[in-house]
């Protein structure tokens, strides 16, 4: 059947949306760097452009361009935009009567998550996702696909930077801090939901080790919400070195491929998606040994927080976020986000007998895994 003119033009617009999609990423990055979500919050959640400008440190030469950034981000749902009564006299700095109507920009449910200082703030995550090291790796993707290496070869990140993200974090202190802060902010966000929605996961657990637990944000939140759980964190030396002492959480520097300390429960949040199936089996085997030693016979468990791609309960947005994260994992580590069947295979190979998936954390699920 012939394509109608409307369909053709719709398809063209779709292509432009996608080919210029990187500008959405960088506009979001710019808004966070300029402190726009915090500025709108200070203005009571919404502000006219002149009011917004008066609170931002923007060079004079760039002030006329802020409206363009705000307009684009409002179309994408990052901010709200409400046309102000056109009969009202224009505020200083806004167009005179007869020019474009003035607009009040406000925080949307999306940008509320970027406001700092009140609960979880995901701005550090956004800055990591659009960090120069990640963007430079993404520029290599077309070449990466075309190049035939030995075996599976190296991921696009290593092709761009000559080392893995963990290698880079080991000596580039700025990148290390960016990653740890970003993961910490994701954990703060998740922890509030886990504590509220998944409390029963920690019933009967007396000790928990958060393997690859980063700066201890999740472990600290669990220790605070469930005082009967003694929490510790295992992570690489360059991560543990940057952590300030906590009363409620113990920190250990080490390699989870070598040793996982004994505990009733092992938590792996956003860790396994960084590894191949083969490495996941190795990590989970170490975790199974840790709970075999740490818990009463058969009472231990491993708790995984990661994506389970393709659950029928997920929205199109969640699916899109998951497949984008999957591409990111491929680019960074040649690892992946997994569907349930893939998880199941890994769990059985690592010697576990059964598991329970609760797809209640948006893009992520909480999986309990039993020996
Ligand atoms: N669980 C944290 C951090 C996830 S990022 C959170 O969700 O916020 C993955 C973590 O795994 C990083 O902190 C990284 O340093 C850690 N990691 C990577 N390789 C490791 C290894 N071999 N042993 C222990 N931790 C490791």
- Options 3.40.50.150, 3.40.50.300, 3.30.70.100, 3.40.50.170; CATH for 196-370 is 3.40.50.150
- Give me ligand 1 centre to Cα 237, in Å: 11
Instruction: Indicate if ligand 1 lies below 6 Å from the C-beta of 124.
Output: no
Residues 6+ apart with CB under 8 A from 303: 201, 265, 266, 267, 268, 366, 367, 368, 369
pLDDT number for residue 150: 58
CA distances from 219 to 191, 214, 237 (A): 9, 9, 17
Q: Where are the chain's structural domains?
A: 5-111, 196-370
Query: How far is the first Cα of the chain from the last one, in angstroms, to the nearest whole number?
Result: 56
Q: 294 — phi, psi (to 5°)?
A: -85, -30
Closest CA to 332 of 129, 30, 174: 129
Nearest CA to ligand 1 atom 6: 183
Q: Which atom of ligand 1 is nearest to the CA of 239?
A: 15
pLDDT, one tens digit per residue, over 2-19 is 789 999 999 999 999 999
- Cα–ligand 1 centroid distance for 211 (angstroms): 7
For the whole model, what pTM was predicted? 0.93
Per cent of the chain over pLDDT 90 is: 85
Q: What is the mean pLDDT of residues 244-253?
A: 88
* Ligand 1 lined by 234 (C-beta under 6 Å): yes
**Mean predicted confidence (pLDDT) in 158-169:** 96
* Confidence label for 199 from pLDDT (cuts 50, 70 and 90): very high
Instruction: Decide if 18 is catalytic.
Output: no
Give yes or no for a contact between 105 and 50, defined as CB atoms under 8 angstroms apart. Answer: no
Give the pLDDT confidence of 273-305 residue by residue, as tens digits: 999 999 999 999 999 999 999 877 778 999 999
- Supply the residue whose CA is at minimum distance from atom 8 of ligand 1: 183
Q: Which residue has the higher pLDDT, 33 or 150?
A: 33
Residue in 18, 161, 246, 273 annotated catalytic: 273
Question: Residues 123-136: what's their mean pLDDT?
Answer: 97
Q: Which residue has better confidence, 191 or 100? A: 191
**pLDDT score of 333 more than 80:** yes
Q: Pick one of 3.40.830.10, 1.10.10.10, 1.10.15.40, 1.10.10.1110 as the CATH number of 5-111.
A: 1.10.10.10
């Amino acid at each position: 059947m012939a394509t109608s003119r409307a369909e053709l033009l719709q398809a063209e617009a779709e292509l432009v949306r996608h080919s210029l999609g990187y500008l959405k990423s960088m506009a979001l990055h710019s808004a966070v760097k300029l402190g726009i979500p915090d500025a709108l919050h200070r203005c009571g959640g919404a502000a006219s452009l002149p009011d917004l400008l008066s609170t931002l440190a923007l060079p004079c030469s760039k002030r006329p361009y802020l409206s363009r950034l705000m307009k684009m981000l409002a179309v994408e749902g990052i901010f709200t935009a409400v046309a102000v009564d056109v009969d009202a006299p224009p505020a200083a700095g806004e167009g005179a009567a007869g020019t474009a109507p003035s607009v009040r920009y406000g925080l949307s449910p999306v940008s509320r998550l970027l406001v700092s200082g009140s609960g979880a703030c995901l701005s550090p995550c956004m800055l990591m996702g659009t960090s120069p090291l990640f963007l430079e790796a993404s520029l290599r993707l077309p070449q990466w696909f075309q190049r035939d290496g030995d075996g599976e070869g190296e991921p696009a990140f290593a092709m761009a930077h000559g080392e893995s993200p963990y290698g880079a974090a080991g000596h580039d202190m700025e990148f290390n801090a960016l990653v740890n802060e970003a993961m910490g902010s994701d954990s703060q966000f998740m922890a509030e939901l886990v504590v509220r929605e998944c409390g029963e996961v920690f019933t009967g657990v007396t000790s928990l080790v958060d393997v690859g637990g980063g700066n201890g944000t999740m472990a600290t939140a669990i220790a605070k919400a469930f005082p009967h759980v003694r929490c510790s964190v295992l992570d690489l030396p360059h991560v543990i070195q940057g952590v300030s002492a906590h009363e409620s959480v113990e920190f250990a520097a080490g390699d989870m491929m070598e040793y996982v300390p004994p505990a009733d429960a092992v938590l792996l949040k956003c860790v396994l998606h960084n590894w191949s199936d083969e490495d996941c089996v190795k990590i989970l085997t170490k975790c199974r040994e840790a709970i075999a030693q740490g818990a009463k016979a058969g009472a231990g468990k491993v708790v995984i927080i990661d994506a389970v791609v393709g659950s029928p309960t997920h929205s199109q947005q969640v699916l899109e976020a998951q497949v984008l994260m999957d591409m990111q994992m491929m680019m960074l580590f040649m690892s992946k986000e997994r569907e349930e069947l893939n998880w199941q295979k890994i769990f059985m190979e690592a010697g576990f007998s059964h598991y329970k998936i609760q797809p209640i954390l948006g893009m992520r699920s909480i999986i309990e895994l039993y020996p």
